[in-house]
């Protein structure tokens, strides 16, 4: 069960009779058992099963090495974990967080904010920047912090010109990894998942320039 698939409305599961397992804990009803991983739970259930489970029906849970996403001590390396930590340090009710899909969405879930807007149900890439502008229009008291991958930004990122037109000041954070990283993770390395690197800082300058006044309209009268 994930909110990405059920959208929170198709699955009506009673918590009292529900077992939920993650990589770090197991929830049985309203009780939480931390430190019990999915592999241990499955192996214990198989061991206690009264039915005869054929060996061919057993499955192996692949082990994925934990990725070190924190910066190395003594370095100024920019990492996702470090960025989320810095954002949490300044997070307040002055901001709304709006995220596109992909790595930025899953990283953004660690932010301590009471407003987090994302297209989790339908995974619509290109949502972030336009939605962030819309969120600030809807609630001008909250400045939008927009999390977007380079793939999503290359689709709709130029909508930042609309923010300038409306006098808005969203903070746009681009996860620039030169690829459709989530697709590569789900599938495998393929050339068509690669993305060209844009100079995103340079793009911001002309987008923020004041609009030129239109030339005067020339009219003529017949005599």
pLDDT in tens, 145-201: 999 999 999 999 999 999 999 999 999 999 988 888 777 776 667 777 788 889 988
List the alpha helices (DSSP H) in 64-189.
Answer: 80-90, 103-108, 128-138, 150-156, 160-165, 181-186
Name the token pair of 94.
């002055």
Q: What pLDDT is attached to residue 92?
A: 94
Q: What are phi and psi of 180, to 5 degrees?
A: -85, 85
Q: What pLDDT is attached to residue 204?
A: 80
Angle subtended at Cα 141 by Cα 138 and Cα 145, rounded to the nearest 5 degrees:
80
Counting runs of H as helices and runs of E as strands, what totals does the chain give? 9, 7
Cα–Cα distance measured from residue 192 to residue 200, given in angstroms and rounded to the nearest whole number = 21
**pTM assigned to the model:** 0.64
Q: What pLDDT is attached to residue 100?
A: 94
What count of residues does the chain have? 223
Percentage of the residues of the chain whose pLDDT score is greater than 70:
75
Residues of the chain with pLDDT under 50: 211-212, 223
Q: What pLDDT is attached to residue 223?
A: 42
Q: What pLDDT is attached to residue 191?
A: 79
HSE-up (13 A, CA, CB side) for residue 181: 14
Q: What pLDDT is attached to residue 117?
A: 94
């Amino acid at each position: 069960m994930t909110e990405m698939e059920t959208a929170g409305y198709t699955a009506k599961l009673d918590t009292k009779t529900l077992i939920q397992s993650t990589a770090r804990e197991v929830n049985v009803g309203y009780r939480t058992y931390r430190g019990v991983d999915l592999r241990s739970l499955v192996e214990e259930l198989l061991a206690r099963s009264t039915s005869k489970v054929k060996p061919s029906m057993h499955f192996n849970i692949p082990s994925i090495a934990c990725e070190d996403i924190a910066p190395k001590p003594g370095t100024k390396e920019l990492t996702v974990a470090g960025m989320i930590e810095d954002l949490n340090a300044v997070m307040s009710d002055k901001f709304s967080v709006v995220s596109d899909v992909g790595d930025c969405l899953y990283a953004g879930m660690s932010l301590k904010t009471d407003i987090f807007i994302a297209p989790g149900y339908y995974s619509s890439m290109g949502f972030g920047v336009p939605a962030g502008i819309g969120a600030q229009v809807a609630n001008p008291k909250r400045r939008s912090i927009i999390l977007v991958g380079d793939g999503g930004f290359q689709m709709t990122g130029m909508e930042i010109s609309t923010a300038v037109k409306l006098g808005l000041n969203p903070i746009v954070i681009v996860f620039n990894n030169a690829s459709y990283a989530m697709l590569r993770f789900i599938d495998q390395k393929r050339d068509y998942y690669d993305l060209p690197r844009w100079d995103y800082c340079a793009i911001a300058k002309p987008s923020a320039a004041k609009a030129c006044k239109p030339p005067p309209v020339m009219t003529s009268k017949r005599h």
